[in-house]
Amino acid sequence: MPPNVQVSAQDRLQLSVDTSKPGPKIDRNIFGQFAEHLGYGVYEGIWVGPDSKIPNTRGIRNDVVAALKAIKVPNVRWPGGCFADEYHWRKGIGTRAVTLNPNWGGVIEPNTFGTHEFMDFIDQIGSEAYLSVNVGSGTPQEAAEWLEYLTAAQPTTLAKERATNGHPAPYKIPMLGIGNESWDCGGNMTPEYYLRQLTIYSRFVRNYNPAQQRNDQLQKIAVGPGGGEARWTEWTDTIMKAWQKRQWSWDMQGLSMHNYTVINWENKFASVGFGEKEYAQILKETLKMKDLVTTHSAIMDKYDPQKKISLVVDEWGSWYAPLPGSNPGFLVQQNSIRDAILAALNLNIFAHHADRVRGANIAQMVNVLQAMILTEKEKMVLTPTYHVFKMYLPFQDATYIPVTFNAGTYTNGDITLPRIDAIAAKDKSGKLWLELTNIDPNNAVEIEVSVAGLNANSATGETLTAPKVDSVNTFDAPNTVAPKPISVKVQNGKLTIKLDPKSVTVVSIM
Ligand code: AHR
Q: Is the CB of 421 under 6 A from ligand 1?
A: no
Instruction: Render 45-93 in DSSP notation, one character per residue.
Output: TTB--TT-SS-EETTEEHHHHHHHHTTT---EEES-SGGGGG--GGGGS
Alpha carbon 437 to its chain's center: 18
Nearest residue (by CA) to ligand 1, atom 6, is 81
Average pLDDT, the chain: 96
Reported as type and span, the H/E element at residue 99 is strand 99-101
Q: Is the CB of 138 under 6 A from ligand 1?
A: no
Amino acid at 135: V
Question: Does residue 181 carry a catalytic annotation?
Answer: yes
Q: Which of the following is catalytic: 36, 109, 181, 278?
A: 181
Instruction: Locate the ligand 1 atom nearest the alpha carbon of residue 83 and give its number.
Output: 6
Q: Is 136:179 a contact under the CB 8 Å cutoff? A: yes
How confident is the model at residue 100, as a pLDDT?
A: 97
Q: Is 43:113 a contact under the CB 8 Å cutoff? A: yes
Q: Is the CB of 177 under 6 A from ligand 1?
A: no
Q: Is 138:89 a contact under the CB 8 Å cutoff? A: no
pLDDT in tens, 453-492: 888 888 999 999 999 999 999 999 999 999 999 989 898 8
Sign for the CA dihedral angle at 27, 31, 37, 42 comes to negative
Instruction: Please state which of the ranges 8-17, 221-230, 357-366, 439-448 shows the lowest mean pLDDT.
Output: 8-17
**Rounded CA gap, 52 and 108, in Å?**
19
Nearest residue (by CA) to ligand 1, atom 2, is 81
DSSP state, 398?
A: P
Q: Is 251:200 a contact under the CB 8 Å cutoff? A: no
pLDDT exceeds cutoff 50 at 11: yes
Letter string b/e over residues 351-380, b meaning 16 or more CB atoms within 10 A of that residue's CB: bbbbebbbbbbbbbbbbbbbbbbbbeeeeb
Q: How confident is the model at residue 176 (pLDDT cuts 50, 70, 90)?
A: very high
Closest alpha carbon to 74 in 34, 47, 46: 34
Radius of gyration from C-alpha coordinates of the chain: 23
Q: How many whole angstroms from 81 Cα to the centroid of ligand 1?
A: 5
Residues facing residue 14 across a β-bridge: 448
Q: How confident is the model at residue 1 (pLDDT cuts 50, 70, 90)?
A: very low
Nearest residue (by CA) to ligand 1, atom 7, is 81
Q: Is 83:103 a contact under the CB 8 Å cutoff? A: yes
Q: How many whole angstroms from 123 Cα to the centroid of ligand 1?
A: 25
Instruction: Locate the ligand 1 atom nearest the alpha carbon of residue 315 and give its number.
Output: 1
| Angstrom distances, CA of residue 419 to CA of 46, 143, 228, 302, 407 | 38, 47, 25, 33, 6
Q: How many whole angstroms from 88 Cα to the centroid of ligand 1?
A: 18
> Three-state SS for 172?
coil
Nearest residue (by CA) to ligand 1, atom 4, is 81
Q: How many whole angstroms from 191 Cα to the centroid of ligand 1?
A: 19
